[in-house]
C-alpha cells in the first residue's frame, strides 16, 4: 500500500515508518518539523516538510495514496493550557483540513492517533472502548476528542474508513521531545545525568506503559480495516510510577534523589486499558515486557548522551 504518515518525523511516527517499510509498503511523510526531527526519518521515505495548514499542498502530496496514518498533533498538556488557540488551530483545524484534502483527492481511509486522555477520569478500570468519554481538564484532551469526532463524522458523511487508536502510555528508544513531558524518558535521563527525578503524587499513580514497537504494530494491523473501528492500545497491566522508577534504578545500577513535586491538578489516579477488543479483532498482542522495554530505552539514552 501507499501510506502517508502525518507527523512522521516524531517519536511514534518514525517507528511506524520503519515497520511499514519493512513490510513492503511505500511511505510518504509530511511533517513541519516544529516538533519532529528530520534525522530520524528513514532515507527510504518520501519526505515533505509541510504543515497541515496548507491544504493545497496536502492535496498535491495525497494524490495516489491508499491510506493516511494521522499523527501530527501538539501533545504537551501543560503547553495546551498556556496556548489553547495554538493547540486548537494545529490539532483540530489541521485535522479538518487534512480530512478535506483526503476527500478532495479520493483518499478515504484514515488511522488516527488518539489518546487514553479522551476518557478523562475513568469511572472504572480497566477502561473499555464502550466507556463514555470523560470531562476534559485541559485543551489537549479536548482537541483529541474533537479530532476523533471529525474523523467519525467523515465516516458518516463521506464514507471514510476510520480506525481510531487510543494510546495509553507509550515509551521506548528515540523519544526526543523538547520539552520532554513523558515520565519514562525524563526518569531515565535524570538518572543517567545523576540529577533528581521530578515526581508527582510520590509516584503512586498507576499507568499502563506500552513499548513503542508494540504500539507501532497496531497501526500496521489496522491497514486492511474498513468501516469505523475504535481500539485501546495498552498492555492491560498497570504499574505504579514509583515502581517504574525503582526498576530504572535497578537496571542502571544506582539511585538518584527524588524531587517531590507534590500533587498536580488534572492527573488521573489509575489509567489501565482493556485491550480485549484489539486482541480479538486484529490479533494484536504486546510482545515486550516493561523490564525488557526499559532496558532497551536505557540503552538508547546511554548511547545518545546528547539527548540526556
Catalytically annotated residues: 140
Say if CB 58 and CB 31 are below 8 A apart.
Answer: no
Per the DSSP assignment, residues forming a β-bridge with 72 are none
Measured CA distances, 56 to 22, 61, 102, 105 (Å): 31, 9, 11, 11
Rounded Cα distance between 140 and 160, Å, is 25
Rounded Cα distance between 72 and 6, Å, is 5
Rounded Cα distance between 197 and 234, Å, is 25
Among the listed residues 27, 254, 287, 292, the one whose alpha carbon sits nearest the alpha carbon of residue 173? 292
Non-local (6+) Cβ contacts of 207 within 8 A are: 168, 169, 183, 238, 239, 241, 271, 272
Q: Please give the span between the terminal C-alpha atoms of the chain, in angstroms, as a whole number.
A: 37
In Å, the largest CA–CA distance within the chain is 57
Amino acid at each position: 500500500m501507499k501510506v502517508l504518515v502525518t507527523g512522521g518525523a516524531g517519536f511514534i511516527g518514525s517507528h511506524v515508518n520503519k515497520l511499514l517499510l519493512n513490510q513492503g509498503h511505500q511511505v510518504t511523510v509530511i511533517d513541519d518539523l516544529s516538533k519532529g526531527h528530520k534525522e530520524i526519518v528513514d532515507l527510504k521515505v518520501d519526505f515533505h516538510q509541510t504543515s497541515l495548514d496548507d491544504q493545497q499542498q496536502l492535496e498535491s502530496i495525497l494524490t495516489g495514496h491508499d491510506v493516511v496514518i494521522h499523527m501530527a498533533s501538539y501533545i504537551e498538556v501543560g503547553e495546551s493550557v498556556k496556548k489553547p488557540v495554538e493547540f486548537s488551530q494545529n490539532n483540530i483545524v489541521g485535522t479538518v483540513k487534512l480530512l478535506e484534502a483526503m476527500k478532495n483527492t479520493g483518499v478515504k481511509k484514515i488511522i488516527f492517533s488518539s489518546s487514553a486522555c479522551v476518557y478523562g477520569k475513568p469511572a472504572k478500570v480497566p477502561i473499555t472502548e464502550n466507556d463514555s468519554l470523560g470531562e476534559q481538564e485541559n485543551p489537549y484532551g479536548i482537541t483529541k476528542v474533537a479530532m476523533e469526532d471529525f474523523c467519525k463524522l467523515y465516516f458518516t458523511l463521506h464514507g471514510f474508513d476510520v480506525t481510531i487508536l487510543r494510546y495509553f502510555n507509550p515509551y521506548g528508544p528515540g523519544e526526543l521531545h523538547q520539552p520532554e513531558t513523558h515520565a519514562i524518558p525524563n526518569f531515565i535521563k535524570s538518572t543517567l545525568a545523576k540529577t533528581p527525578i521530578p515526581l508527582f503524587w510520590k509516584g503512586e499513580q498507576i499507568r499502563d506503559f506500552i513499548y513503542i514497537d508494540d504500539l507501532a504494530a497496531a497501526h500496521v494491523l489496522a491497514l486492511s480495516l474498513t468501516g469505523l473501528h475504535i481500539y485501546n492500545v495498552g498492555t492491560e497491566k498497570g504499574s505504579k510510577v514509583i515502581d517504574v522508577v525503582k526498576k530504572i534504578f535497578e537496571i542502571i545500577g544506582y539511585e538518584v534523589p527524588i524531587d517531590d513535586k507534590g500533587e498536580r491538578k488534572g492527573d488521573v489516579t489509575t489509567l489501565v486499558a482493556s485491550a480485549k477488543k484489539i486482541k480479538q479483532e486484529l490479533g494484536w498482542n504486546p510482545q515486550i515486557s516493561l523490564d525488557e522495554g526499559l532496558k532497551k530505552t536505557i540503552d538508547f539514552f546511554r548511547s545518545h548522551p546528547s539527548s540526556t
